[in-house]
Structure formats: C-alpha cells, structure tokens
C-alpha cells in the first residue's frame, strides 16, 4: 500500500512540475504587425510615442484566449534570432509587454540609435506560428 502511495505521489509531482508543451497558436494567413509611428530613420526626442499597427487580426488582452487575436510586444534593440518563439516572451526594458491590449506607448529612451520591432503574442505571451512580427525600424533619439 505504501509503495502505491509513494508511486502515486511521485507521479503527481512529476505532472505538476513537468513543463507544459502547448502548441503555438496559428497565425492567420496574411496577418501583419507594423509600426505606424515613428517611421524608419526618424530623429525623435523624448518622450517617444510609438504607435502599433495590426492587419488581419484583432487585439485581445493577455489571458484572453481567442482565435485570430493577440497582444503587442515591443522589442527594443533585440535581434529576432535571439527570441525563443516556443515560450513566453521575457518582460524587461528590451521586451515591453502590452498585455492590456494597448496599441501605443510613450516612453523615454536613451539618446542614440534604437532598433524597434513589434511581435504579437498570444494569450500566454507566446509568439504565433508563424510569428507575426513587424519589419524593424531604426530611430535616433536626440
């Protein structure tokens, strides 16, 4: 009896601590994220307002699981190849989350050149399959 209890407890612990292998949400064909403003090559001053664009999908807050929706993440000075597309995006100064469904942000950036990219995430902050990512733009903060 003790053996079964220990085995059952071990199995339960393994299930609780095992990583969840969920499939990424499919991206609708033709879906596109883009940065409305500022435009490529712009010289701007702080605070910088960045407006997000999205075609072929809707915006939904994080935690709301609905097909053909997602929420924006702004990548600042990040190489897309460094992103683990199978897991939730990190949240820090270079990976900005807009899980409330926001479509713009005003922020202060250090002086100099910055590469900005929008990446849509699903209800769990995981990029869609294939990723819905804007073309990068470079701006200069004066």
Contacts of 6 (CB under 8 A, 6+ apart): none
pLDDT of residue 23: 83
* Domains of the chain listed by start with CATH number: 2-141 (2.60.40.10)
Using the Cα atoms of residue 18, residue 71, residue 104 and residue 141 in order, give the sign of their dihedral: positive
* pLDDT tens, residue order, the chain (142 aa): 555 443 344 334 333 333 444 589 999 999 999 999 999 999 999 999 999 999 999 999 999 999 999 999 999 999 999 999 999 999 999 999 999 999 999 999 999 999 999 999 999 999 999 999 999 999 999 9
């Amino acid at each position: 009896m003790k053996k079964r209890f220990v085995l059952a407890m071990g199995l339960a612990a393994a299930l609780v601590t095992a990583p969840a292998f969920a499939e990424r949400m499919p991206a609708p064909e033709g879906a596109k994220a883009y940065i409305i403003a500022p435009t490529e090559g712009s010289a701007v001053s702080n605070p910088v307002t960045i407006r997000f664009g999205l075609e072929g999908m809707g915006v939904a807050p994080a935690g709301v699981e609905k097909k053909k929706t997602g929420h924006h993440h702004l990548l600042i000075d990040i190489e897309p190849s460094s992103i683990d597309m199978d897991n939730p995006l990190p949240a820090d100064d270079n990976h900005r989350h807009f899980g409330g469904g926001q479509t713009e942000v005003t922020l202060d950036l250090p002086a100099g050149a910055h590469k900005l990219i929008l990446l849509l995430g699903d209800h769990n902050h995981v990029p869609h399959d294939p990723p819905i990512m804007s073309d990068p733009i470079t701006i200069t903060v004066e």
